[in-house]
Chains A and B, each alone.
Chain A
Amino acid sequence: MIADRIRRLAAAGALLAFVLPLAGCGGNQEPAAKEDTSTAALATAKKNFDDATSVHLDLATDSTPTSGDAVLGANGILTHQPAFQGEVKVLLSGFNATVPVIAVDGKVYAKLPLTPKYAVIDPSEYGAPNPADFADAGKGISGLLLKMNDVRKDGTTREGKQVLTRYAGTLTGDLVAPIIPSADATGSYDTVVGIDQDDRIVTLDVTGEFFSGGGDETYRLRFDDYDKSVKITAP
């Protein structure tokens, strides 16, 4: 019932927004302009991300599922080879493990928990993404910026030394899933991007239901150390 009413309200709102300017009652063009500057800022940030040879990435969440498979974090260097080298925190059949991962040349090498050496794995079988894909300009992290719906500027926030401008919007689950595989493809995720004074993406928070029935959880991505000359090679 309530969902239905909200949907109807939203439809009415959309109709009004569309009709009002046409009816000449416009004049208030600001929302559209705001969206434009927001989109422009995000586009610049995306370009800066894609142009950087490398970036240090930290993915984390406070959520603590205790069963099944899930990605709970990642920390490492992402390059546009594309490649990733670092650690991925996963839940494997209920056990937390920090897995050293090197993803390069289309292959993912992982030192699985309680194994002594790197082995080639298919991350999708472990409920994990291929972290090298994060660097992909289209389906990777930077691609998300231009696919957000209802983008609006959302004030400023502090991230360590930096003061960031926040841009909020929503992403559909199918776009989030390549980064966090437990995302529900049909769901909607509130997304907040934090961009610093140099127009670089510093934070990306995605909130929504990642574990069915588990309520809303937030995954936080942090980026720093842009543009270092790093070359990642297979182990």
Chain B
Amino acid sequence: MTLARPLLALASVAVAFAAADTYVVVLSLPEMMTSAGLSVEQLQRAAPIISGFLLGYVAMLPLIGRVADLRGRLPVLVVSLLVFGFGSLVTAAAYDLPSLVVGRFLQGVGGGGLVPVTLALVADIYPAERRGVPLGVVGAVQELGSVLGPLYGAAVLVVGDWRDIFWINLAVGLVLAAGVAALGRQGSSRGPRRLDVVGLSLLGLWLVSLLLVMRQPDAVVTSVDWGGPFVPFGTATSPWLSPVGLVTVGLGLALTLWLVLGRRPFFDARDWWGTVRQADLRGALLLSVALGGVIVAFATADPQVQVFSPVGPWALGAAAVAGLLFVLHQRRATNPLVPRGSFAQRPAWGSLAVSFFVGAALIAALVDIPVFARISIYGDSQIKAALVLVELLVALPVGALVGGFLTRVADSGLIAGAGMACAAAGFWAMSGWDADQLHHHLSSSAVLALTGFGFGLALAPVNAALLASTRPAVHGVTSALLVVSRMVGMLVGISALTTIGLRRYYTVSADFPSPGEVCGGGRTRCDAYSDLLQHAGVAQLHSIFAGAALCALVAGLLAVVLFRGAATRATPAVALLTAGG
């Protein structure tokens, strides 16, 4: 038990770090898009760099909680951190958009595994009646991570490039994994395990050849003697269809075979697979397909033509079918992730619905306010663009505090409604900002602070409504689902709002005059034309902010209607403030 608390502390740091990673890319997105071969106007195709992470995160949550019950917290924590580290490595070494999104997805898988395990650790350490505060701390560090993410990313960008962010993530993931493993070894009476020489050698070789294929180091590739095996076969262009690429695939297969069939491999794949099968694998897969479909539908669009590409409706259809199957599966499963009846009361399922729309609105603030800053006045500075968010981030915890205390004396629906009304008003004001608004510090700061305060205000009453209308035994899993619901909202929000905003942009700009007509005098570039484009860009953000205002308004109205009658005033304020995030 003495080791449990340091372990929980370490796990909480990991949760905060993984949460920070969701938004760490927000400000480096322009650079990452360039590396992936995307132009500035293909923002909708870049959205999966953010939503890919969210997808991995959300898909893992239902699975990992059960796996951690069956295998123990510690191994699952270590594996999650290692997967997170591996995802960071793939992201850092990425050479195109698909490899970048795969890396981000793996990061999300690892990061998503951390949350349920950490919640389970809380349940292990504390008796039911004392879990409120520690559960709240976990939620709070997650919140903290997600608001610090953009700032952390911007700080790294000051001294390095975007790949450095992910090399640092790899290092942090490995250090945390080592820390957790070390704590575990102290606690267990078992001697050190036998070193799996074959498996670890295969792993080392595979990682080296993976990096060689992905990074194509100049010194090797241009060498007359050594570069030959890197040349793709025939007319192929993929780096994988080369001798070195195939060797990498072969090493990967050999490693997998060893882990499955070998005697005492360092990672017992057969055993883990059995555990995963016992957990809700089908549910996780269905949820992934449902959300992945939404991402694909919006990411493949060409907003110059329309909001959906030809595959868009099919992707959405597949998503709907998978979503339906997921719901059915949850109902039928003998041991569903969410114990049946957990969300029977209206405020309980209502809080999930409210969270969804809060997430959709919040992502617009976290992503599009810095984008607005970059388009309008801080074109050359990511850090300044990130700092624009500071007012919002400072006001958020203030609002959370006020909301926590108000929840004791007033109806939770009304408080959440008021909070989201503040946020909606803030977004509405932003949807009227002109390009030099951020120079008017006072008024823009006030709007940003109001928005942050509103989001904060709604935090506690939504949690309170959930906690008051679910049984204490399921508080952990229902709180986690509140986070999931918000993340799904974010994922759908970032995909849909970006694409719809760009579509609106192209509608506005369809009948722009040519630069020669605007500038006159034989010139084809002038401030007037730049202003024209800038205003069109700002108009696109206006429609995103208006969409966010709508989402916030829907969240507020749902809270007012659905939370009515929730017995929240009895719950202690501290638990309300913090639980569930």
Contacts and interface: CB of A to CB of B under 8 A. Distances in A.
A115 B509 contact: yes
A150 B38 CA distance: 39
B233 to A, nearest CB: 10
Interface in A66-119: 66-67, 72, 89, 93-99, 112-116, 119
B379 A96 contact: no
A97 B40 contact: yes
Interface string A138-169: 00000000000000000011111101000000
A64 B162 CA distance: 11
A89 B510 CA distance: 23
A12 interface: no
A159 B516 contact: no
B524 A119 contact: yes
A66 B380 CA distance: 6
Given A96-B34, A115-B509, A158 B221 contact: yes
Q: Kindly name the residue among B39, B40, B224, B506 whose own CB sees the greatest number of chain A CB atoms within 10 A.
A: B39
Interface string B75-96: 0000000000000000000000
Interface in A29-52: none
B573 interface: no
Contacts of A137: none
Interface string B568-581: 00000000000000
B222 A113 contact: no
Nearest to B540: A114
Interface string B356-396: 00000000000000000000000110000000000000000
Given A64-B31, A98-B39, A116 B510 contact: yes
20 contacts: A64-B34, A66-B380, A72-B34, A89-B34, A94-B380, A97-B39, A112-B515, A113-B39, A113-B41, A116-B304, A116-B510, A119-B515, A120-B516, A122-B523, A126-B524, A157-B223, A157-B224, A158-B224, A158-B228, A160-B231
Contacts of A159: 222
B434 interface: no
A121 interface: yes
Contact of B514 (A95, A119, A157): A119
A157 B222 contact: yes
B521 to A, nearest CB: 11
Contacts of A116: 304, 506, 509-510, 512
Q: Kindly name the residue among B223, B224, B523 whose own CB sees the greatest number of chain A CB atoms within 10 A.
A: B224
Contact of B525 (A97, A99, A115, A126): A126
A115 B304 CA distance: 10
B515 A121 contact: yes
A125 interface: yes
B317 interface: no
Contacts of B525: 121-122, 125-126
A93 B530 contact: yes
Nearest to A125: B525
A95 B524 contact: no
A126 B515 CA distance: 12
B40 A120 contact: no
Given A113-B39, A161-B231, A94 B506 contact: no
Contacts of B40: 95-97, 113-114
A168 B509 CA distance: 48
A93 B75 CA distance: 50
